[in-house]
């Protein structure tokens, strides 16, 4: 779904919870971040199984988004996936079909991961910050994201992904609690979190595919689509490293 253009500004991220652990001055050093979210109480998951969480989500009325939904959009993909992709929320097509990322942006997301031979039928688990469509495809409000967080916590715990991909600034904000994430600064970087639920997982922000749809492909290495190509190759490399260790 569409995200706000101002979320992709190039201002420096000054959030005190983000610590740059590699030199910003050297372009040859891949940057990584440590997010201090140890104060979050996310290790306490309300549900005893993924199925229990899904059953509760299907009849959820914890926020006003339930009033406009056609379907609850819980997830798609496989439940033993090493890679979890988290977006912001359902759009119109997702609301109608009850599946995440099935509109134009979702089709592009599928093509991006198919380019490195990864797909939702064999490798990926896909979900969103909120499970019901916000009006007019707007970004979820903080209270809506908070109301839905118990379902997302259960998804992370029981899918137990080794790699979490955050598609867009809304997902970054919802998962890492960075107040004003600048995707152009942190996309493609591996992030470590001290949050007990996220510890020991590789986390990477990427551009939301709806943002990519607004940009034509060109060979400029600084273009959004060229950067996305680099990011998905890095994701595939991390995935292959995991499979070699099994």
May I ask the CATH class of domain 17-244? alpha beta
3-class state of residue 125 by DSSP: strand
Q: Rounded to an integer, what distance in angstroms lies between the CA atom of residue 16 and that of residue 174?
A: 16
Phi/psi for 30 (5° steps) reads -75, 125
For residue 130, the tally of other CB atoms under 10 A from its CB is 27
Strand ranges (E), 113-167: 124-128, 163-167
What was the pLDDT predicted at 34? 61
Each residue's pLDDT, cut to its tens digit, for the chain (246 residues) gives: 333 222 222 233 333 333 223 223 333 334 455 655 544 555 689 999 999 999 999 999 999 999 999 999 999 999 999 999 999 999 999 999 999 999 999 999 999 999 999 999 999 999 999 999 999 999 999 999 999 999 999 999 999 999 999 999 999 999 998 888 889 899 999 999 989 999 999 999 999 999 999 877 666 888 899 999 999 999 999 999 998 876
Confidence (pLDDT) at 245: 76
Per-residue pLDDT, 41:
52
Question: In the prediction, which pLDDT does 9 show?
Answer: 27
Tell me the β-bridge partners of 190. Answer: 32
The predicted structure's pLDDT at residue 217: 64
Contacts of range 137-143, beta carbons closer than 8 Å, 24 or more positions apart: 137/1, 137/2, 137/91, 137/92, 139/3, 139/4, 139/88, 139/89, 139/170, 140/65, 140/88, 140/89, 140/170, 140/174, 143/63
Task: Give the pLDDT score at 32.
Answer: 55
């Amino acid at each position: 779904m569409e995200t706000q253009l101002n979320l992709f500004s190039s201002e420096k991220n000054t959030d005190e919870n983000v610590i740059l652990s590699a030199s910003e001055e050297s372009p040859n050093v891949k940057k990584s971040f440590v997010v201090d979210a140890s104060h979050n109480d996310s290790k306490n998951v309300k549900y005893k199984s993924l199925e229990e969480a899904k059953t509760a989500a299907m009849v959820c009325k914890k926020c006003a988004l339930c009033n406009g939904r056609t379907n609850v959009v819980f997830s798609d993909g496989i439940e033993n996936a090493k890679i979890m992709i988290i977006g912001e929320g359902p759009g119109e097509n997702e609301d109608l079909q009850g599946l995440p990322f099935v509109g134009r942006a979702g089709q592009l997301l599928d093509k991006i991961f198919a380019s490195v031979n990864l797909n939702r039928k064999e490798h990926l688990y896909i979900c969103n910050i909120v499970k019901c469509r916000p009006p007019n495809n707007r970004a979820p409000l903080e209270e809506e994201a908070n109301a839905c967080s118990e379902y997302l916590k259960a998804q992370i715990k029981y899918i137990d992904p080794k790699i979490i991909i955050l598609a867009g600034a809304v997902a970054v904000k919802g998962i890492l609690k960075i107040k004003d994430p600048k995707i152009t600064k942190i996309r493609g970087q591996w992030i470590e979190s001290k949050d007990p639920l996220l510890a020991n997982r590789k986390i990477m922000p990427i551009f939301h595919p709806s943002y990519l749809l607004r940009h034509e492909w060109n060979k400029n290495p600084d273009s959004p689509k060229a950067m996305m190509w680099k990011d998905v190759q890095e994701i595939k490399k991390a995935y292959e490293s995991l499979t070699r260790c099994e």
